[in-house]
Amino acid sequence: MPLFKKKQQQELSLSDIVLPEHIGIIMDGNGRWAKKRGLPRSAGHTAGAQTFRKIARYCSDIGIKYLTVYAFSTENWRRPKEEIDALMRLFKDYLQEAIRDFKDDSIVLRFIGDRSAFSPELLSLMNENEEESCDRDGMVLNIAMNYGGRAELVTAIQSIAQQAADGVLKPEEISEALVSDNLYTKGQPDPDLIIRPSGENRTSNFLLWQSAYAEYVIMDVLWPDFTERDLDKALIEFAKRNRRFGGV
């Protein structure tokens, strides 16, 4: 970590700090943003999608290696049908745009979560985006869709249990590393920093295993209003933290 003590009386910039390798963002506040403006919730999701595009590219530009964004949770299916339909249309538009407009970007696209609930059209677009971007060498962008941390752990446990039943491994061989290797984020480092806009103080079932030692930064700004400057503030706040990972 940088020698922060020498800078504590000054305003830090990104050039003064060591950036986290992996950032997670809980993109929260779209509905409240729309309500404050007397707009339908779908308008908030549209504005939030624009913020997502902007922040994802900014993270890539400044050198973040992994970015995981919470786009749609396993619990979001409980929302009104018209809102879900609007979100699915937004996902479709984004996926089509990504294929068309991200060709010259270095971003690698991956989708984490249970894909079984999505339409064949969305599944095809997800697969196409992953295939088109798999050979790129830039930031890995994980988009969590129909994702829940508990559901992810259940899926991992089921996979491990099946391996044990098949005689591939013994119960005493189950380790933290094995669990990690059966998660959606297999092969990626755990997030260093998780940012939650909107001021809510909860994890919302996001990356429960992976975030065991992540630093959380809660910000009182609704996601559609989130800017590059807000991200800079979160990164600078992260740089001030003393991460001990259970040590002294």
Q: What is the pLDDT of residue 10?
A: 52
Buried b (16+ CB within 10 A) or exposed e, 200-234: eeebebbbebbbeebbbbbbeebbbebeeebbbbb
Task: Give CA angle at 68 (112, 32), nearest 5°.
Answer: 100
What is the C-alpha separation between 230 and 241, in angstroms, rounded?
A: 17
Which residues of the chain fall short of a pLDDT of 50? 1-9
Cβ neighbours around 149 below 10 Å, total: 21
Residues 6+ apart with CB under 8 A from 17: 2, 4, 235, 236, 238, 239
What torsion do the CA atoms of 144, 149, 154, 158 make, to the nearest 10 degrees?
Answer: 50
How big is the chain, counted in residues? Answer: 248
Q: Are 143 and 112 in contact (CB under 8 A)?
A: yes
Active-site choice (16, 30, 61, 76): 76
The pair of structure tokens assigned to 72 is: 């749609």
**Domains plus CATH for the chain?**
19-240 (3.40.1180.10)
Q: What is the pLDDT of residue 13?
A: 81
Q: What is the pLDDT of residue 66?
A: 98
The pair of structure tokens assigned to 131 is: 């295939």
Active site annotation includes 85? no
Which amino acid, one-letter code, is at 170? K
Q: What is the pLDDT of residue 4?
A: 39
- List the one residue out of 32, 33, 1, 48 whose CA is nearest residue 235: 1
Q: How many CA atoms lie within 13 A of 87 on its CB side?
A: 20
Active site annotation includes 104? no
Q: Are 106 and 60 in contact (CB under 8 A)?
A: yes
Active-site choice (28, 190, 192, 230): 28
Average pLDDT of the residues of the chain: 91
Instruction: Measure CA of the first residue to CA of the last residue in the chain; give whole Å.
Output: 16
- Integer angstrom CA distances of residue 25 from 39, 96, 157, 193, 240: 24, 23, 25, 8, 19
User: Beta strands 108-112 and 66-73: pairing type?
Assistant: unpaired
